[in-house]
Amino acid sequence: MKSITLPIASLVGFSIASPWSTLFSRSLDRRQAGRCGTGFGTVCGRNECCSSAGWCGTGYLYCSAPSCQIEYGPGCDANVRPGGPDTTNAARPKVGSIPYGQAIYRCNRNGDIALTYDDGPYTYTEDLLNLLQRYNAKATFYITGRNLGKGAINDPDTPWPGLIWRMVRDGHQIASHTWSHQRLTTLSRSKFWNQMIYNEIAFADILGYFPTYMRPPYSASNTTTDAWLNELGYHITYFNLDTEGYLHDSPNMISTSKQIWDNTVEGRSPATNKWLHIEHDPVYQTVYNLTEYMLRSIRRNNFTAVTVGQCLQDPPSNWYRTVSSSPSPTSTSSSSPTFPATANGRCGSRHGGATCRGEPNGETCCSQNGWCGGTSDHCGRGCQPVFGTCRGTPEPAAPGRCGAAILSHSIRILHSTAIDGQTQLDVNTLHTKTHAKPSAPDNTQALIDAKTFVTPEYAVGLIRDWITAHGP
């Protein structure tokens, strides 16, 4: 299998001559404080994290979900409860004809292909939404609340609340993929409850309601976890079409996923066929290559790209619950949320979701810093299209720039340059054709996310930790 190369020097502005494993070994040695986890049965100290390989410590390598062992590391970021309304005692009536607490693998209506995307929102999700909008295609987003170092989805200092609002506004369905992408079958009841309730709290904080549909990470559930999900009132949805895009995240490998799609869909009649599909929006090639290929095929073969609820013929009013005992959001509110007009010139997800649309004198653009206006600074680079009108295309960072802002920009372009960089990292240690994580050294294991694809945030986090330990 071909190696992935990560251009570390271009991200941080200093030269690296040693291999990746050697690069971080000294940092790890200095910070290891003891063993922990399932293999040792010991819990780390207060505010410490337990890495996937069973070492206590602090920092990105040890604490980031989903690798940090939440049962043994009190400081794991997944153990941080999000702010928002408590959903623990929310009414959970079981309405409609779709079963609760049971596995659902396929659609009910011929001619439908339910597109679904797991593990987001992520750096590429906005571009995915733009693509779906161009094709008038609907999808379901199985959202993970805190994973891949992206922070909590309801953090107002991130773009995630605005993207989730846009998903709903564009007619997509929101579903739960747990709080931090843990393997549910390995968790105690209390930790399992946190995985579901924490995500509900974050959703309710953003939208005022939370989903009734979910997908277990790693497709891992059993009779016990199914019963718990039934108790919480969830439809457990899987899939019967998987292109394995997460295994083929490179330009020369994504054709394998396209072939899987073609073997399943191409030339089939919509009168007698239907599929419930799965992809992942943190996978670069899935967003920027595979998805449009699938959308063209759907159109060419006269299928319809729909949400999971639609393909199951479940009314949108059944897709969500409110925190109180009041009725769930209606079909209208779940598909077309109304953004409040700005009251003070501020806009965006960090300012209550206020929009500049309708502002006088052409000041209808929402700038990257959340101000309504009509200048090029408001309408050009960084303009927020969900909360106003925008003009122009953002420019990439200037060559030769460095620092935290450029690191932030670099994570967006990392996947597109990863194949041609300088520092080699063996892809065999990072990919597997099963849902189980491969055995790897602690520093390498920290790079492996829920579906075993390398993410830019993980790479940048490693770089930041190394700089902290050793200096630039």
Question: What is the CB neighbour count within 10 angstroms for residue 247?
Answer: 18
Is 196:234 a contact under the CB 8 Å cutoff?
yes
d(C-alpha 278, C-alpha 203), whole Å: 22
Question: What is the CB neighbour count within 10 angstroms for residue 452?
Answer: 19
Kind of pairing between the strands at 275-280 and 116-118: parallel
**In sequence order, what are the beta bridge partners of 241?**
277
d(C-alpha 46, C-alpha 63), whole Å: 13
**In sequence order, what are the beta bridge partners of 366?**
372
d(C-alpha 332, C-alpha 169), whole Å: 10
Sign of CA dihedral 372, 378, 384, 389: positive
> Which residues are designated catalytic?
118, 280
Residue 142 identity (one-letter amino acid): Y
Burial of 5 (0-12, 13-18, 19+ CB in 10 A): middle
- 158-164: Cβ within 8 A, 24+ apart: 159/121, 159/126, 159/349, 160/121, 160/349, 161/206, 161/349, 161/350, 161/353, 162/348, 162/349, 162/353, 162/384, 162/386, 162/387, 163/121, 163/125, 163/126, 163/129, 163/386, 164/121, 164/203, 164/206, 164/207
Q: How many CA atoms lie within 13 A of 336 on its CB side?
A: 2
Six-digit token pair at 282? 């943190």
d(C-alpha 211, C-alpha 314), whole Å: 13
The CA-to-CA distance between both ends of the chain, in Å, stands at 33
Burial of 343 (0-12, 13-18, 19+ CB in 10 A): exposed
